Amino acid sequence: MSELPVPDLAPVNRGPLDRSLMIGLIVLGLLAIMPLLSPILGGDYMLSLVIKAMIFAIAAISLDLVLGYGGMVSFGHAVFLGIGAYVTGIALQEGVYGAFPILALVLLISGAFALITGAISLRTTGVYFIMITLAFAQMVYFSLTSLSYYGGDDGLTLWDTPEVFGMYLFQTGSGLFYSTLVLLALIWFFVWRLAMSRFGRVLRAAKQNPTRVGSLGYNVFVYRLIAYVISGMLAGVAGFLLACQAEFISPSTTSWQISGHLIIMVVLGGLATRNGPLLGALFVVLIEEILSQITHDWRLIFGPLLVLIVLFSKGGLAGLLKNKRATG
């Protein structure tokens, strides 16, 4: 049987001077030296804040796979953060301390939940998809509040962290920092390569015209479901890291406010771009903290700032940086 044609999309610059690649590597490089700069920027507090920003960057990158490349607006993506965090916390509570077994459980359970809920949600489109993903997230939220053995609505403090071959890499500040940075870099690279692959080209084409892609012989539902499962698994990894960083798990991690926060990060950074979710997450987390230190009414500044960026920077922060470099 002859191979089905893949819908042709705009060519991607893969040359040695790929601007988006250079910008991404520069951002990751700057993050890598943060432990050296932290003593003059705020010490452990600043290091903890950057770790939090990187964790949310992983979650935002995972969301961009379905939102930016797939055109699926999930308003319950924080549920995977919560699943990853609770699987980690419950495993530690039950005496499982190995990071790799816990991560395997996180990927398995997050993927299974994404497979089941995605198979149902993806039979709808538009506002119906938004509402059904929100409904599943709320179901998990209320289920977690009923787990009285693991803290219920009050959450659960973790007295241990996962270990790697006897080393508590996810406990010390620099250990957790570089572990998070490595996972961020791997996921950043993986999602971009996936988006630029044959699979990603079909996914992006289905976003533009699913009927035409289906007429070429591609099962759009299956492609979207696979993307949704991968996205959920990656967000589960962010939940694992969030539990290690906070040493606390809470049902509030799955709330719709967190899901909305992730959407803001992706849109602000730039939909379906290599660096958009990364830049958006770093910007939102750091600017929120800076403004909150200046004034109690920081949201009155933050809200209009987001509106101005979205209105006047085509392609979000990633597009803004690209355009500045192109005109510089």
DSSP string, 191-215: HHHHHHSHHHHHHHHHHH-HHHHHH
pLDDT for res 51: 94
User: In sequence order, what are the beta bridge partners of 163?
Assistant: 98
Per-residue pLDDT band for 297 (boundaries 50, 70, 90) equals confident
- Residue among 78, 81, 86, 79 nearest 102 (CA): 86
Whole-number Å distance between alpha carbons of 263 and 130? 12
Whole-number Å distance between alpha carbons of 68 and 9? 15
In this predicted structure, the answer to whether residue 172 has a pLDDT above a threshold of 80 is: no
- Residue among 71, 72, 69 nearest 61 (CA): 69
- Residue among 104, 55, 71, 4 nearest 235 (CA): 55
In this predicted structure, the answer to whether residue 150 has a pLDDT above a threshold of 80 is: yes
Contact between residue 53 and residue 290 where contact means Cβ atoms under 8 Å apart: no
Please classify residue 163 by burial: count the beta carbons closer than 10 Å to its beta carbon, then call 0-12 exposed, 13-18 middle and 19+ buried: middle
Per-residue pLDDT band for 1 (boundaries 50, 70, 90) equals very low
Q: What is the pLDDT of residues 205-224, one digit of tens each?
A: 999 999 999 999 999 999 99
Whole-number Å distance between alpha carbons of 228 and 224? 6
Whole-number Å distance between alpha carbons of 170 and 275? 26
Over the chain, what is the mean pLDDT?
89
Structure tokens that stand for 318 in this block: 């990633």
User: In sequence order, what are the beta bridge partners of 185?
Assistant: none
Whole-number Å distance between alpha carbons of 64 and 72? 9
Whole-number Å distance between alpha carbons of 328 and 324? 6
User: In sequence order, what are the beta bridge partners of 253?
Assistant: none
How many alpha carbons fall within 13 Å on the CB side of residue 212?
A: 12
CA 151 vs CA 157, 239, 261, 279: distances in Å = 8, 17, 25, 34
Whole-number Å distance between alpha carbons of 151 and 325? 50
Does residue 321 or residue 124 have the better pLDDT? 124
Q: What is the pLDDT of residues 70-117, one digit of tens each?
A: 999 999 999 999 999 999 999 999 999 999 999 999 999 999 999 999
Per-residue pLDDT band for 11 (boundaries 50, 70, 90) equals very low
In this predicted structure, the answer to whether residue 6 has a pLDDT above a threshold of 70 is: no
Question: Which helix (DSSP H) or strand (DSSP E) does residue 93 occupy?
Answer: helix 78-93
Taking the alpha carbons at both ends of the chain, their separation in whole angstroms is 50
